[in-house]
A and B are shown apart, each in its own frame.
Chain A
């Protein structure tokens, strides 16, 4: 393998980068979150609809980023709305990434504590991951993208094997009737599907790193399409296997599905352990991605070198991960992130696009 020195990534890397940013802890709790809101077996429709909406959002984000080739949102926001308002908006985005990074690492720690390492202090799980993440982020976007490329096929393969094996529990009747209570439950479920797609804001910086920004729309749609497909598959398999009533009462429904069967005579009798161990890598990828975005943003807004910023953020992320005191607080933090993501979406791509359109097309200014 050759070592690249420039900060550019290929189209494949960009797609995998986006996928590994979005696909994470959500897969473990999504079926419950959506089912609680929908209360009928139509959750999968909510996820599909949510996915289509997110794809539109992604397209918008790419389009605005393509107007400023080679520039990240942290650099071009100021040019659109003025330096100070731009900086405020971007700091908000950095804050969002920091909370997300802390949330991912905390979810990772909670799952590990509950199922794998009961009795280990939480900091002993959180700290090594933060340190390893620091080392990875230190290497820049190229190293991160390459790690993602290695992790991606492994984690997807294990997930697929788990779902394939869980097919023995699958009962199509658990997913029926379709739209038994009309379309309203599906709409109600949309809100809770937003959280699982949170993180797709990284597109606002990712396009700047692409070798050929012209392919960005296609690349990013593929990048977000994989998580949409996998989330859909997750909801179908988990609700089909456990039925909606069981999913609502379960804290980690996806893991409970995998724990509901044993395969005697197989290499692993219990698939939840390989799944959890592999999925930790996936959540680690999420965390690194957000960590990278936050450090990049801060250094570009404050015009600092990126490496000291990375070290500076380590304690911040640790604190952000340790703020929730109970599991329930972790989940409500998740809901908060979902809402914040929505607000940020309205503030950043939408507001910026509108102002940019008015200034270039309406006022014929050169931005």
Chain B
């Protein structure tokens, strides 16, 4: 027994010496957690401008402005602040420079608490900045950092990205608001499935084009407005898809199966189709060097609204006529989206490349390096099958 006692005592004393308290523990009250990060084209903030006028700066090129949204921990002792300025539950801090980490460290000579990225939820990049810098350059730091989780989501903003981090409402944090709006994917396919960092990492590495959710701010409110297309080879922003294109994109890639289609009937009155199911399939065919795709889209739904009071839609003939009209509308939307991708942007963000690589790996290998180019010339044919299954609880 005594022979075992010696190692035990040694072991315990060493454990006690090294593990008393946590070695590198940090109190959460002393940290500044940031939940949002906005990247803009370099533009000095007012404070920075004044500092620079006084000759206070360091060696840098002002390529980006990074804004972080810090959530202050409310302490009970700060009651005396009441009545004065109306506090927002967040605080935005901006800095300008050309290295993300350097800018982050620069915050530390202005603020009392060190910032930590464990709770970063949303990254917004302005389209303007993405014209100048590639997505790979901008995301390099966040992909490498050990604090920032790969579950953070990336968005593009049409205007200044820092504007998306400001809200009119005083009781909510804009970055959390943006993230929670994603839940509305159950209602509309205009919200793309979120792009998390680890997915983005794969797309950057494989040099593929992709679409990111676009954010537009107007009058202090931020809206999901279509999608931004980022070109694979260069990593630059090339253009936007409008809301209907975005919806079609979700349906086509099979990531969205919700939404409505509105069409005008024979009396030019609006009628609306509520989607209940959506199935899309891309078939890749290659004969020789020619590559073509056959897309079949099947959807089922209900006719949920019509302004036409003179004819009964639920009667057999009219139902078929209505279904045809909806199908026509869907076709229009799809073709608009595809022509934009093929002709305007020459970028495959709809997963045609994936379909080819899975179904025809040999053909894919040949065109992999210049896929966007090949895609823009590929023939894509559609087959639609739209079924109206019911008419809600109102039969007439």
Contacts and interface: CB of A to CB of B under 8 A. Distances in A.
A117 B146 contact: no
A280 B4 CA distance: 25
A135 B151 contact: no
B151 A118 contact: no
Interface in B358-383: 358-359, 361-362, 364-365
B198 interface: yes
Contact of B24 (A117, A127, A131, A181): A117
A152 interface: no
Interface centre among A117, A132, A259 (most CB of B within 10 A): A259
Contacts of B4: 138-139
Given A117-B23, A177-B361, A270-B149, A128 B18 contact: yes
A128 B202 contact: no
A254 to B, nearest CB: 12
Given A245-B205, A245-B206, 16 more contacts: A115-B146, A119-B24, A124-B18, A124-B23, A127-B18, A128-B14, A128-B19, A135-B7, A177-B357, A180-B358, A246-B201, A246-B202, A256-B150, A259-B149, A260-B197, A307-B3
B196 A134 contact: no
Nearest to A246: B202
B28 interface: no
A341 to B, nearest CB: 30
5 contacts: A117-B22, A117-B24, A132-B15, A245-B202, A260-B197
Contacts of A114: 146
Interface string B5-21: 00110110011001100
A200 B143 CA distance: 35
A131 B201 contact: no
Contacts of A139: 4
B203 interface: yes
A199 to B, nearest CB: 25
A146 interface: no
Contacts of B48: none
B199 A243 contact: yes
Interface centre among A118, A132, A246 (most CB of B within 10 A): A246
Interface in B19-49: 19, 22-24
Contacts of B202: 242-246, 249
B361 A181 contact: yes
Nearest to B148: A259
B124 to A, nearest CB: 19
Interface string B311-348: 00000000000000000000000000000000000000
Nearest to B121: A262
A181 B363 CA distance: 11
Contacts of B150: 256, 259-260
Given A128-B14, A259-B150, A138 B7 contact: yes
A207 interface: no
A6 interface: no
A119 B147 CA distance: 13
Contacts of B359: 177
Interface in A231-257: 242-246, 248-250, 256-257
A314 to B, nearest CB: 10
A226 B19 CA distance: 34
Contacts of A248: 205
Interface of B: 3-4, 7-8, 10-11, 14-15, 18-19, 22-24, 143, 146, 149-151, 196-199, 201-203, 205-206, 354, 357-359, 361-362, 364-365
Nearest to B23: A120
- A-side interface mostly: helix
Nearest to B19: A128
A68 interface: no
A183 to B, nearest CB: 13
Interface residues of A, number: 37
A118 B201 contact: no
Nearest to B361: A180
A261 interface: yes
Contacts of B354: 173
A33 B72 CA distance: 41
Contacts of A79: none
A131 B357 contact: no
Contacts of A218: none
Interface string A250-277: 1000001101111000000010000000
Nearest to B147: A118
Contacts of A119: 23-24
Sorted nearest first, the 8 A-B pairs with minimum C-beta distance are A180-B361, A246-B202, A119-B24, A245-B202, A245-B205, A120-B23, A245-B206, A176-B358
A250 B151 contact: no
Contact of B357 (A118, A180, A260): A180
Interface in A94-142: 114-115, 117-121, 124, 127-128, 131-132, 134-135, 138-139
Contacts of A244: 202
B15 A131 contact: yes
Contacts of A124: 18, 23
Contacts of B22: 117
A117 B3 CA distance: 34
Contacts of A134: 7, 11
B280 to A, nearest CB: 14
Contact of B198 (A127, A180, A242, A307): A242
Contacts of B24: 117-120
Contact of B14 (A127, A177, A181): A127
Nearest to A117: B24
Given A128-B18, A176-B358, A260-B150, A135 B11 contact: yes
A274 B13 CA distance: 27
Contact of A245 (B197, B203, B358): B203
Nearest to A114: B146
A181 B365 contact: yes
B17 to A, nearest CB: 9
Contacts of B15: 128, 131-132
A119 to B, nearest CB: 4
Contacts of A176: 358
Contacts of B364: 180
Interface centre among B3, B18, B203, B359 (most CB of A within 10 A): B18
A131 B8 CA distance: 9
Interface string A285-314: 000000000000000000000010000000
Contact of B10 (A121, A131, A249, A262): A131
A256 B149 CA distance: 8
Contacts of B7: 134-135, 138
Contacts of A131: 10-11, 14-15
